[in-house]
Chains A and B, each alone.
Chain A
Amino acid sequence: MPLLAFDHVDATYGQARILHGVTFHVDPGERVAVLGRNGVGKTTIVNTLCGVADIQAGAIVLGGERHTSPRHYLAARSGIAIVLQGRGILPNLTIEENLLLGASVDRPGRWDLGAVYDLFPILGERRQSPGLGLSGGQQQMLAIGRALMANPNLLVLDEPSEGLAPVIIDELADLFRRLADEGTAIMLIEQNIGLIQRVASRYYVLSKGTVVESGDLAGMTTQQLQDHITI
């Protein structure tokens, strides 16, 4: 049974229809990439999953249950942790409080404060500092650590490489592969070809709010990937 599926989803912001019949799925332990140029609706997939965009047709399926009007917290409570584009660090909370917020779903598992601090020692060293006092890369560590605190089955990452130095992106790629090897499914919404190639094994291409292509990443050349995501 898929951890997450979109079944012919049309999604809107107010009157603006962004997604048109989007269908995809992520199975347990999979590493799936969603590709597409800017403005094709990639982040709207995340927003639909979170109940920020409205579903007008179709449904999302979480753990076998269909939902047409998901509340914001439904995905997290279904074992899907989301690293938002822009990271969503709460500026009035310390690093540790941001992490504790991720544990609000009370799911058992290996990830707790100690495990996250082992993974990202800088977060432990600065645990009482405000989250926004970190560099961009460290903020991304915080956002990922916070998502892991939910002990998710599926980690959804929306443009995690945005604004980061290549060396940090390499570290993230290693981390995502390691998490996948440990059993956490990864859904990577991304435009960084190197990161996609190093992390994902399967892909969906989004164009004008519709999935136009899908398949195994092993069969795609870098140039083909480039063609899908170059503005």
Chain B
Amino acid sequence: MLIQVLNGIAYGGLLYLLAVGLVLIFGLREIVNFAHGALFMLGSYIGFSIAAVFNFWLGLAGSLVAMTVIGIFLDAAVLRPLRKHDHMVTVLVTFGILLVLEAFATAVWGKSFRSMSAPDLLSGTVQIAGEPFPVYRLFVIGVSLCVAAGLTAWLRFSRVGLYVRASSVDPTTTAILGVDTDRLSLIVVGLGTGLAGLSGVVAAPLMALSPTMGNYILIESFIVVVVGGLGSFSGALAAALLIGQIHNFGAIYLPWASTMLPFLLMVGVLIWRPTGFAGKRT
């Protein structure tokens, strides 16, 4: 049982790394970024390519840096110019970016599945409660918890974190009070995209790399954001860990329904509490 719980935490941690980027971008730009799964995929491939030449750790760092830069470019070149347009226009543009990035990945890395190995340091298993458990999944849990703790501290104690929290609820009022939300948005979209890249590399040894690898996990990340409460960072963490458990135990005990369970959870939460776990009742 403990092993299965840990597996669920590892998957939930991955979902959190991806979903928290969506939360960051949704909060400030008020858009649902359909390209986020493709950015996860691109980060994965970039890490894969760097790791093939150097090593896993440089792949991890290189992908984080490259995707952060891509995120800054995405905000400056795409999201900011579209800020005065209807949100649906921006959503459709992000969907277009998804298609472009998938075509780009197909052209560069091909359609066939690629695999990326965990580094030697993280290979093998450890005994937990008398059962073997992969070291790499402990690493995934560790990275997720470190990111969650780091983000929480940043949001809670730093001045920029205060601005991000304020703008995640009301970006217009935050800007009217004097916060340069354009500069803040560069930071937030860069960070969110960088985390998508980080999660892509962290996930790579656990899943096959393909141009469409981001699609399913993106849908589950959307469920995390909705269940956690739009714009809520703590809600996203709670929802990701819960959906990780549902995903894992569902696959074991209700395999015929396992892909449905996260959606059923979302429907149930929306009926019970339409604003999600951490949203305010209206």
Q: Which residues from 68 to 115 on chain A have a C-beta closer than 8 Å to any C-beta of chain B? A: 71-73, 75-77, 82, 84, 88, 90-93, 97, 100-102, 104-105
Q: Contact check: which of A90, A93, A97, A150 meets B178 at CB < 8 Å?
A: A150
Which of chain A's residues 93-148 have a Cβ closer than 8 Å to chain B?
A: 93, 97, 100-102, 104-105, 146
A57 contacts chain B at the CB level, 8 A cutoff: no
B177 touches which one: A71, A91, A92, A150 (CB < 8 A)? A150
Is the Cβ of B170 less than 8 Å from the Cβ of A88?
Answer: yes
A169: CB under 8 A from chain B?
A: no
Given contacts A91-B169, A97-B162, A101-B162, contact A75 B176 (CB under 8 A): yes
Chain A interface category by residue count: 20 to 34
| A40 lies within 8 A of chain B by Cβ | no
B interface, by DSSP: helix, strand, loop or mixed? helix
Which of B159, B162, B179, B280 sits near A93, CB closer than 8 Å? B162
How many whole Å from A12's CB to the nearest CB in chain B?
A: 12
The answer, yes or no, to whether B152 is at the interface (CB within 8 Å) is: no
Check: A50 CB closer than 8 A to any chain B CB.
yes
What CA separation (Å) do A71 and B178 show in the bound complex? 10
Looking at B169, B178, B280, the one whose CB has the most chain A CB atoms below 10 A away is B178
Docked pose: A101 CA to B159 CA in angstroms: 9
The docked-state distance in angstroms from the alpha carbon of A128 to that of B171 is 22
Contact indicator A104/B169 (Cβ below 8 Å): no
Task: Kindly state whether residue A229 has any CB partner on chain B within 8 Å.
Answer: no
Contacts A90-B169, A91-B169, A91-B280 hold; do A72 and B162 have CB atoms under 8 A apart? Answer: no
Residues from chain A with a CB closer than 8 A to the CB of B165 are 92-93, 97
Q: How many Å lie between the Cα of A196 and that of B176 in the bound state? A: 25
| A101 to B175 CA separation, bound complex (whole angstroms) | 10
Bound state CA distance, A113 and B239, in angstroms? 36
Residue of A nearest to B180 (CB): A73
A84, A104, A105: most-surrounded residue (chain B CB, <10 A): A104
Select A92's contact among B168, B178, B181, beta carbons within 8 Å.
B168
Q: Which residues on A are within 8 Å of B, measured CB to CB?
A: 50, 52, 71-73, 75-77, 82, 84, 88, 90-93, 97, 100-102, 104-105, 146, 150
* Known pairs A88-B170, A102-B177, A104-B179 / 11 extra A-B pairs, C-beta < 8 Å: A50-B172, A50-B176, A73-B177, A76-B177, A77-B178, A88-B176, A90-B170, A91-B280, A92-B169, A93-B165, A101-B163
